[in-house]
Amino acid sequence: MQLLLKSIFTCALFVIFVYATAQSLAKVQQNDERYTLLNGTSSSGSNLSRDHFLSRRLRQAGQGEEGEQGAPVRIDDENKDDPLQASGPEEEELRECSEGLVLPLWMPQRNISIGDRLVRGFVYFLLLVYLFVGVSIIADRFMASIEAITSIERAVVVRGPHNEKQVMHVRIWNETVANLTLMALGSSAPEILLSVIEIYAKDFESGDLGPGTIVGSAAYNLFMIIAVCMIWIPTGEVRRIRHLRVFTVTAAFSIFAYVWLWLILSVFTPGIIAVWEAIVTLLFFPLTVLWAYIAERRLLVYKYMDKNYRVNKRGTVVAGEHDQVEMDAEKGGPRGSISTPTTRGGEAEAFDEARREYIQVLTELRQKYPDAELEQLEMMAQEQVLARSNKSRAFYRIQATRRMVGSGNLMRKIQERAHSDLTEVKAQLHPSEDDDGDEPTRVYFEPGHYTVMENCGEFEVRVVRRGDISNYATVSFETQDGTASAGTDFVGKRGQLNFPPGVDEQRFRIEVIDDDVFEEDECFYIRLFNPSENLKLAVPQIATVMILDDDHAGIFAFTDSAFEISESVGLYEVKIMRYSGARGTVIVPYWTESGTATPGKDYEETHGELVFENNETEKIIEVLILEESSYEKDVSFKVHIGEPRLAPDDINKESFFNRFFEKHEHTGDPTHDELAAKIEEVEKKLPQDLTELDRILLLSKPRNGELTTAYVRIRESQEFKATVDKLVAKANVSAVLGTSSWKEQFKDALTVLPSDETDFDNDDEVEEEVPSCFSYISHFVCLFWKVLFAFVPPTDICGGYVTFVVSIFVIGVITAIIGDAATYFGCALNIKDSVTAILFVALGTSIPDTFASMIAAKHDEGADNCIGNVTGSNAVNVFLGIGLAWTIAAVYHSSQGMTFNVEPGTIGFAVALFCGEALIAILLIMVRRWTKGIGAELGGPKVSKYISAGILVFLWVSYVVICTLEAYDVIQI
């Protein structure tokens, strides 16, 4: 079916072109013969060309030799017998190709054969195509600057859920205003500038090329682009207009714009455009923007309309239209829990929505890739958020042009952008700790705390030097008593450490004295002092050494009473310490208890026993924290340890009592059973009956310390939260469109990249593809334009305003050349400017928008970028393009005491025909939306979408055919 539509479309254009060319060339031949009969000589023998002769006679018939060239011609009675004047309407064809504004005229203009005309027409046609490519490329630079300008953000302070202040960045430009002003100007700049430049080139007289291009482009956009997008939607999918109120306003104004043209051309002051008519036409442009903004923001009368509320895909209740609620229901209902609307403002809610989407994408990726690292998942999530985010009109326009000219795919650039965003965010959260060359060299203990067993013998202490290590340095050290005393618990030591050049650490050893006396854990200190001149003491300059007594089983407890962890921690380790003894094998039971945290949802419940081997001082309890990717989680649960007990006798007798009484056993003193019996006897005594010896004997048994219960609080990771906030703030697709340097622009201009589209809904690895043959051909064909426009300033300069000014100037120059080339093309083949505008210029300026709309139709969740922007552009083109040009001309003529004359002719007929067909097209779109079996403007069942597309194609073909026939007087109006 697609092939059939394309064939019909191509054949219709070919037939129209051949017919128009044949008719024009036939009239040229007839006029040449008539000119010979009238002058009695051939054209080759005449001193004046046929066109120049007619031009002079027409000027003489109008206002005389000194009259205005562009004034209307009136046949006086004295010329009625002149065979040239009396020859009828065919005299219009006897015109010479006048010199253009920029492009030189192809000389000579006399004695041109039919073959020569065809060759010239073909050359001009190729030139037009190449110019269209050039203006499309520079228009994309223009659109990138507009995207940079409309993406300017401001910082706002809002209150969070817990009344805390949050600073976030929101866009200054409203989306609707941006689309109808700068975005519309960016996509329609060639048509608008062509209309203005034509007025200037014709000495402020009206022409057919500019207005004809605007009307023809409007017809193509409304009929053909929407038809193509209908078919382009994959089977079974639909696209609906989300901002229906805005679409209604722009659609009404797009039709009213052409009704207004008809009124001022044919009703109010036929053939004359008054100053007030031109100014009012121009003022309708800001009125359209204002009304669309009011509709989008629900101001004035819109706030009294019925409001329905829906839960959007991120779980936020927002005001919506009835159709939107139905659309969400068709998708299976909203996701997430319903929350009451906040009063934080639309900007803050939009930021929260983007943040929830990022969290949701990250959760899906975590489930799909459970073994992947968090940083990798964050980068993938950022890619998908950028790829799925709402794209502007500029994005799709630039995306389409890049794929056409072999400059790659913007989706690939999104991957690079996501990686750079994450790298930048991580660098901000973890600033580099590189040593400053001006700082002095530092020396300190590493680590600053040591825990050793009483029976360890000796242990090693490490001192490091940081900074400039190229010099010789020294530092002294000495031990200091704490609760542990030198000579009793450890061997005191004092000395000097030498750091030769290039050496950054030194080590020394301290001896610990073991005894058989039960005692609490003790500590002592090691101090650094007396550094050399080029050395500075840094923290920790005092190391703490903890000596754990190994003469009894020990005390068991958590290291802290509460732990605060991130929900993204995964497997969390809760540490159990054994102190005041480490002899023997001890079993400690443990278990978890739920609190506000739910087992199976927030964490996995666990229980078991820890086995502390002889001299083992710490163990860990592993608790799996389940990741929900909740941004503001705050729940807790408990971890308990039970009463410790010695290992069973078959293990215990070898690991505890035998070792405890090894001093007596090797002397042959059989006191093992006696002391064990004494311990059991002491355990039966009352606390007040215990002696000091009894207390020491009881210390040999394992027992719990004070911290037997630990509270584990699960909260969102502060780093993760900061990462999410920063990445969401950076999730701006406009940054992908812009450039930061001329180097980047020239690199892009000279590089061929594959244009195959990457599907970001598929997270599987995609092999790197090489550019296709078409990509290479497109690249080399467009290389001149790409290198030339690489000189345009990057968008990072002055926020894109410099790029904006330079780009629109270049577009104006190329558009002027296009106007000259189109006029020469029509003149060579004797095709009227109105037909050239509708058949060639309108299509050339609209082809990039066609591909942009196709990409938007496939990737957007709505149809606003396909349909809403079409109607908005049509209204803006008339009000701004024709309104601005006619205002300039009307004011100029008024200042000269004259009137600005515009012959309704073909323009009036084309406007009236377009209005009628546009009403049919919009009615068809609305019927598709309200039809139960379709329910959307684009896509839907295969048969219905092809029938609808066929109707729109028929409307456009009939519009072009009828306008062409009317221009050549085949149809008399």
Q: Using one digit for the tens of pLDDT, what is the confidence trace for 776-818?
A: 888 888 999 999 999 999 988 888 899 999 999 999 999 999 9
Question: Quick one: tokens of 886?
Answer: 């006619």
Question: Quick one: tokens of 233?
Answer: 């939607």
Q: Which of 194, 342, 296, 323 is nearest to 819 (CA)?
A: 194
Please give the model's pTM, rounded to 2 decimal places. Answer: 0.63
Question: Quick one: tokens of 789?
Answer: 């426009």
Where does residue 186 rank: exposed (0-12), middle (13-18), buried (19+ CB within 10 A)? buried
Question: Quick one: tokens of 152?
Answer: 């300017």
Mean pLDDT of 529-537: 87
DSSP 941-973: SHHHHHHHHHHHHHHHHHHHHHHHHHHTTSS--
Tokens 């500038």 found at: 193
Rg value, the chain, Cα: 42
Give the DSSP H or E segment for 41: none
Q: In angstroms, rounded to a whole number, what is the distance separating the alpha carbons of residues 229 and 222?
A: 11
Where does residue 583 rank: exposed (0-12), middle (13-18), buried (19+ CB within 10 A)? buried
Task: Give the DSSP letter of residue 914.
Answer: H
- Phi and psi torsions of 576, nearest 5°: -110, 125
Give the DSSP H or E segment for 760: none
Identical fold between 1-26+97-298+738-756+770-968 and 558-648+690-715: no
Q: In angstroms, rounded to a whole number, what is the distance separating the alpha carbons of residues 87 and 431?
A: 86
> Measured in Å, how far apart are the chain's first and last C-alpha atoms?
36
SS3 311: strand
Q: In angstroms, rounded to a whole number, what is the distance separating the alpha carbons of residues 581 and 180?
A: 79
The string of pLDDT tens digits covering residues 905-919 is 777 788 888 888 999
Q: Which of 941, 763, 963, 956 is nearest to 226 (CA)?
A: 956
Q: Which CATH fold topology does 558-648+690-715 show? A: Immunoglobulin-like (2.60.40)
Res. 717: pLDDT tops 80: no
In the structure, what pLDDT confidence band is assigned to residue 429 with cuts at 50, 70 and 90? low
Q: In angstroms, rounded to a whole number, what is the distance separating the alpha carbons of residues 191 and 931?
A: 36
- Three-state SS letters, 518-541: CCCCEEEEEEEECCCCCCEECCCC
Res. 361: pLDDT tops 70: yes
Q: In angstroms, rounded to a whole number, what is the distance separating the alpha carbons of residues 925 and 948?
A: 9
Give the DSSP H or E segment for 901: strand 900-901
Q: Which of 371, 383, 370, 367 is nearest to 422 (CA)?
A: 383
Q: What pLDDT is attached to residue 417?
A: 65
Res. 101: pLDDT tops 80: yes
Q: Which of 79, 90, 286 is nearest to 968 (CA)?
A: 90
Question: Quick one: tokens of 673?
Answer: 């059973």
Write down the CATH number for the domain with range 1-26+97-298+738-756+770-968: 1.20.1420.30
Q: What pLDDT is attached to residue 644?
A: 86
In the structure, what pLDDT confidence band is assigned to residue 596 with cuts at 50, 70 and 90? confident
Q: Which of 583, 645, 580, 579 is nearest to 610 (CA)?
A: 645
Res. 76: pLDDT tops 50: no
Question: Quick one: tokens of 190?
Answer: 């060639």
Instruction: Give the other-Cβ count within 10 Å of 963's Cβ.
Output: 26
Contacts of 489 (CB under 8 A, 6+ apart): 454, 512, 513, 522, 524, 547
The string of pLDDT tens digits covering residues 463-519 is 999 888 888 889 999 998 888 888 888 888 999 999 898 888 899 999 888 766 656
901 strand-pairing partners: 272
Q: In angstroms, rounded to a whole number, what is the distance separating the alpha carbons of residues 136 and 485?
A: 86
Q: In angstroms, rounded to a whole number, what is the distance separating the alpha carbons of residues 860 and 399?
A: 14
Give the DSSP H or E segment for 496: strand 494-499
Q: In angstroms, rounded to a whole number, what is the distance separating the alpha carbons of residues 367 and 373?
A: 12
The string of pLDDT tens digits covering residues 930-947 is 888 888 888 888 898 999
Tokens 């030097």 found at: 465
Q: In angstroms, rounded to a whole number, what is the distance separating the alpha carbons of residues 408 and 406?
A: 6
- The CA-based dihedral angle spanning residues 605, 609, 615, 618, taken in that order and rounded to the nearest 10 degrees: 10
Q: What pLDDT is attached to residue 46?
A: 33
SS3 67: coil
Length of the chain: 973
Task: Give the DSSP letter of residue 87.
Answer: G
Tokens 């002092």 found at: 529
Contact 150, 183 (CB under 8 A): yes
Q: In angstroms, rounded to a whole number, what is the distance separating the alpha carbons of residues 309 and 299?
A: 17
Question: Quick one: tokens of 163?
Answer: 């009344």
Looking at per-residue pLDDT, the higher value among 142 and 152 belongs to 142
Q: What pLDDT is attached to residue 168?
A: 64
Domain 442-548 has CATH 2.60.40.2030: yes
Contact 817, 826 (CB under 8 A): no
What are the angstrom distances between the C-alpha of 553 and each of 415, 514, 862?
58, 16, 71
DSSP 409-458: -HHHHHHHHHHHHHHHHHHHHS---PPPTTSPPEEEESSSEEEEETTS-E
Q: In angstroms, rounded to a whole number, what is the distance separating the alpha carbons of residues 320 and 318?
A: 6
Q: What pLDDT is attached to residue 342?
A: 37
Contact 807, 145 (CB under 8 A): yes
pLDDT cut 90: percent of the chain above it: 16
Q: What pLDDT is attached to residue 314?
A: 39
170-184, 540-554, 668-682, 931-945: which range is least confident on average?
Answer: 668-682
Q: What pLDDT is attached to residue 679?
A: 64
Q: What pLDDT is attached to residue 293?
A: 85
| Cα Dmax for the chain | 154
In the structure, what pLDDT confidence band is assigned to residue 438 with cuts at 50, 70 and 90? low
Q: Which of 604, 603, 609, 594 is nearest to 556 (CA)?
A: 609
In the structure, what pLDDT confidence band is assigned to residue 600 with cuts at 50, 70 and 90? confident
Contact 611, 348 (CB under 8 A): no
712 strand-pairing partners: 563, 637
Where does residue 45 rank: exposed (0-12), middle (13-18), buried (19+ CB within 10 A)? exposed
How many whole angstroms from its chain centre is CA 474?
57
Residue type, 960: V
Q: In angstroms, rounded to a whole number, what is the distance separating the alpha carbons of residues 952 and 947?
A: 9
Give the DSSP H or E segment for 230: helix 226-232
Enumerate long-range contacts of 779-786, CB under 8 Å, 24 or more apart: 779/405, 779/406, 779/407, 779/752, 781/133, 781/405, 782/133, 782/137, 782/405, 782/406, 783/749, 783/750, 785/133, 785/134, 785/137, 785/138, 785/405, 786/137, 786/405, 786/407, 786/748, 786/749, 786/750
Res. 41: pLDDT tops 90: no
Q: Domain-by-domain residue ranges, the chain?
A: 1-26+97-298+738-756+770-968, 442-548, 558-648+690-715
Q: Mean pLDDT across the chain, nearest whole number?
A: 75
Q: In angstroms, rounded to a whole number, what is the distance separating the alpha carbons of residues 924 and 249?
A: 17
